[in-house]
Structure 1
Amino acid sequence: MKFSIGVILITQILFNAVNTVFAFELNTSISKNKVELKELISLCGQKYKANEMDSALFYINAALDKAQHVQDSHLFLVCYNYKGVILKEQSKYDLCLQAYNDALRYLPKEEYNINRLKLLLNIAIVHRKQGQFSKALLVLDNTLKNSESYPKSKTLASCFDEFGMILKNEKSERALLFLNKALEMRKELGNKRSIAKSYTNLGSFYNMRKNYSKALFYYKKSLELNEELKYRKSISVVCTNIGNLYLKIEKIDSAQIYYNRSLDIKEVIGDRNGEAVVCTSMGELYAMNKEYKKAENYLMRANRIAEEIEVLYLQQEINLQLKNLYAAQSKGKEALAYYDKYISIKDSIFNTENMQHMQEMETRYQTREKEQKIEVLNIEKEAKEKESFYMKIVLGVFLFSLLPIGFFVKQRQKTRILKERVAASNRECTKLGMELHDSISGSLTYLYRSMEKESVEDSFVDQLRQVSDEVRGISHQLNMTAIANQEFRDALSDSLQLDHFPDDIDLKIYVPDGFEIDDYEKKINLIRIVQELKTNSLKHGNASSIVISFSRLQNKVGLEYTDNGIGFDMKEAKKGNGLININERVELLSGKLDWQTSPGNGVSFHLTV
């Protein structure tokens, strides 16, 4: 008996010893991984400051792999936040948003601490850089409300600043209010780097308003602070801004000084994208000054960099500048070659965006189809349950209950058919637009360029070029995917072909600042309604004046369209395809419509959806 107890005690002691050794080794391993993880984060920071973004991303991805073994939520948060910042610098905005949202997962949902606010602010900045201003404002509004817990904080000041930048892009006068609020708060906090950023943003605001003296004042205040802080990246940005301003007002020598300074810094810090941008501006500067050889050297240098870093938008701008440069020297062959490249890149960008959004729309369509099928199944299930219930009570009550169900099913069937017809119409428009763009427009372009080479009469070539541009414009106008992808104001402008609108028609368009329609089906159908109305006014109404006005009241959108044409008889017009298309789209939108027209009295169209 004593022997057995002894064996048990010895076994227990050995077991505890093994557990202690194992725990020690585990803690040692975790501690070692933490040290290595922090070293990787530190290396990432060093590469980021040196503007070596690819290397910085490599180290932060290695850090995230290491973080899996440490299971420290704070370090996960740091890694994902760093990754988001790096991807933002590389303009990889979708991946950047993914990283920021991954970081949010490691924060308690019920807490609105300063880390959450910083992440939300970064997400808003990315949306602004993507041009998605409405999304950015929604995130900022949420951030601003919860920033009140941190009065006079850097985050709150940054929220004001970001609000100002978005409103500036939307050309709203309220932008100045928020930019000044941010500046005042940053001055109170004494953060010089942030104050310099506020000065730069105020300079951009006044530059956009063409108040160049005030813009220059704020740019130079920003430059002074950044020079004091020896923050080279911001110095180069401000120098570029000042160079651009001087170029606008044609002070060539002053612009050249600031461009050269910016270019020197960008070469040192390895900012290849920035280097290409400044070289492009230098090319434009020397072209204006008729120093064509220098202009050519800078534009060629910019083009090489843009091709190396594969930035299509930059390549597009540079090829257009090269075309203009050679055209100014009457070098038709070279000008034509670069114009071909410009068109090719422009079409490549258009087709890439078009394909991406076609895929997005297809995914949305499939999702909605699945949701509708589930909804139908649920309705059928509910109807069967009700049927069973009412059968037990009384057959008459059951039959009475079938009436609203029958009406609902009939209405649903009618709506489904209407949706399919409108969707088919939109698909046909998009298909026709792409065919015009890819075949007829290309053939016309080839034809007038061939005639240019054969020295055909200039007036005829110009007319043919104009026809080619109009066909290209019509193709973009018909492409519903491209329209859905644009901001509302730009989509409306393209769909009405304002660049080719008749000069003898007095057209007025009123769209409020910040007006946007997030529902892409509503957006497309409203724009198609305006297109139909415009066609009727010009083709049948002989109108000389058209007024189009959009408004928003709470969650409703209002459209008012009037012209001074000859009007029409509503009873007769109901037979026409134009009015049928408009009424179908209004019905699909569940809109409230009011037509006012009669022969000789123009058209007044009021729609609320």
Structure 2
Amino acid sequence: MEKWQDPNVIALWIAISVVMVVTILLFVVKIMHSGYKRMMQANLRQARLQVEHQKKLVETALVAQERERTRIAADLHDGLIGRLTLVRMKSQVGATPVEVEGLLGDSIAEARRISHDLTPPLLDFSPMHDLLDNLLDPWQQKLDITYRPDIRAQIDLTPENKIQLLRIAQELLTNVIKHSGATQLQVTYRQTEKSIILLFKDNGKGFDTTILKNGLGLNSLEMRAQYLNGRYLLRSAPGKGTRAVVAVNLAA
């Protein structure tokens, strides 16, 4: 009998083969387990980062809401209540009806302005590009504003979505007026069946986005964009103006 035909030799080779196969399988399982563990750890880190980011956005939302309440209270106290108090004082010291009528007219106008800021009139029936036009129009005297509505499809936005878009536009406009030092502003509103693009571009002094990227206003804009299932993008540099884009996906 040949040596390789010896049952003991055959059994030995079978045992060696089994050991090798088991060793290879264990090695493969270990590699797969290690890779799976690294993948799970990466997913957990990503999940923690997302949770922390969402928490920060919620905190920003609460602060923004409180800031808005404070602003409205200040408008009521310093604007409307102050004017009405003046009307009462004038009437007590014998002001003429014409003077009192003028002061009452100013008070009514102030009340309308505050009401317009809270909920724009005809919100349900006005198209979004007209609401933006009404928002920008009062600032034409202080800033050279070029507004370009690009309506490629008629869509029905909910009042909640219109309000969020208007609040985004108000925030961007406030940033331009208060902080940019710009003299010119280009606003583009593009509306299609699947998306909305809102672009603000100014010729102001710009800023370093790596320094101010976590500001309250910027976080508030990102929060509102996420509410609309959209994204907020900002590009700026010192001396080069600022370009802000809000892209909303309507197909999702």
| TM-score bracket, shorter-length normalisation | 0.5 to 0.7
> Is residue 2:66 matched to residue 1:428?
yes
Counterpart Cα distance in 2 of 1:442 and 1:560: 34
1:603 maps to which of 238, 242, 250: 242
C-alpha spacing 1:462/1:589, structure 2 compared with 1 (3 Å): same
Counterpart Cα distance in 2 of 1:484 and 1:425: 26
Which TM-score applies when normalising by structure 1?
A: 0.28
2:109 aligned residue: 469
Secondary structure of the residue that 2:205 maps to in structure 1?
coil
Secondary structure of the residue that 1:517 maps to in structure 2?
coil
TM superposition shift of 1:558: 0.8
1:233-252 equivalences under 5 Å are none
TM superposition shift of 1:504: 3.5
Equivalent residues, number: 211
CA deviation string 1:39-73 (max 9, x = no partner):
xxxxxxxxxxxxxxxxxxxxxxxxxxxxxxxxxxx
CA contact (8 A) 1:596 1:604 kept: yes
2:158 maps to which of 507, 514, 518: 518
Counterpart Cα distance in 1 of 2:210 and 2:50: 28
TM superposition shift of 1:460: 10
Secondary structure of the residue that 2:180 maps to in structure 1?
coil
CA contact (8 A) 2:164 2:224 kept: yes
Q: Which amino acid aligns with 1:455?
A: A
> Is residue 2:166 matched to residue 1:535?
no
Q: Which amino acid aligns with 1:567?
A: G
Counterpart Cα distance in 1 of 2:122 and 2:67: 16
1:570 aligned residue: 209
CA contact (8 A) 1:415 1:588 kept: no
1:368-387 equivalences under 5 Å are none
Q: Which amino acid aligns with 1:547?
A: Q
CA contact (8 A) 1:509 1:547 kept: yes
1:455 aligned residue: 95
Structure with the largest fraction of helix: 1
Secondary structure of the residue that 1:447 maps to in structure 2?
helix
Q: Which runs of 5+ in 1 are unaligned?
A: 1-392
Counterpart Cα distance in 1 of 2:189 and 2:44: 37
CA contact (8 A) 2:154 2:193 kept: no
Q: Which amino acid aligns with 2:207?
A: F
CA contact (8 A) 2:187 2:198 kept: yes
C-alpha spacing 1:408/1:556, structure 2 compared with 1 (3 Å): farther
Computed over aligned residues only, the root mean square deviation of the Cα atoms, in angstroms, reads 4.4
Q: Which amino acid aligns with 1:562?
A: K
C-alpha spacing 1:463/1:518, structure 2 compared with 1 (3 Å): same
TM superposition shift of 1:530: 1.9
Which TM-score applies when normalising by structure 2?
A: 0.59
1:378 aligned residue: none
1:559 aligned residue: 198
Secondary structure of the residue that 2:52 maps to in structure 1?
helix
Secondary structure of the residue that 1:543 maps to in structure 2?
coil
C-alpha spacing 1:597/1:434, structure 2 compared with 1 (3 Å): closer
Counterpart Cα distance in 1 of 2:158 and 2:144: 30
TM superposition shift of 1:415: 5.1
Q: Which amino acid aligns with 1:403?
A: Q
1:73-92 equivalences under 5 Å are none
1:405-424 equivalences under 5 Å are 405-407=43-45, 409-414=47-52, 416-424=54-62
Secondary structure of the residue that 1:604 maps to in structure 2?
strand
Q: Which runs of 5+ in 2 are unaligned?
A: 1-28
TM superposition shift of 1:474: 4.0
CA deviation string 1:521-569 (max 9, x = no partner):
x544433332222112212223233222211344222111122333334
1:101-140 equivalences under 5 Å are none
Secondary structure of the residue that 1:406 maps to in structure 2?
helix
Structure with the largest fraction of strand: 2
Counterpart Cα distance in 1 of 2:185 and 2:202: 4
TM superposition shift of 1:424: 1.8
Q: Which amino acid aligns with 2:200?
A: Y
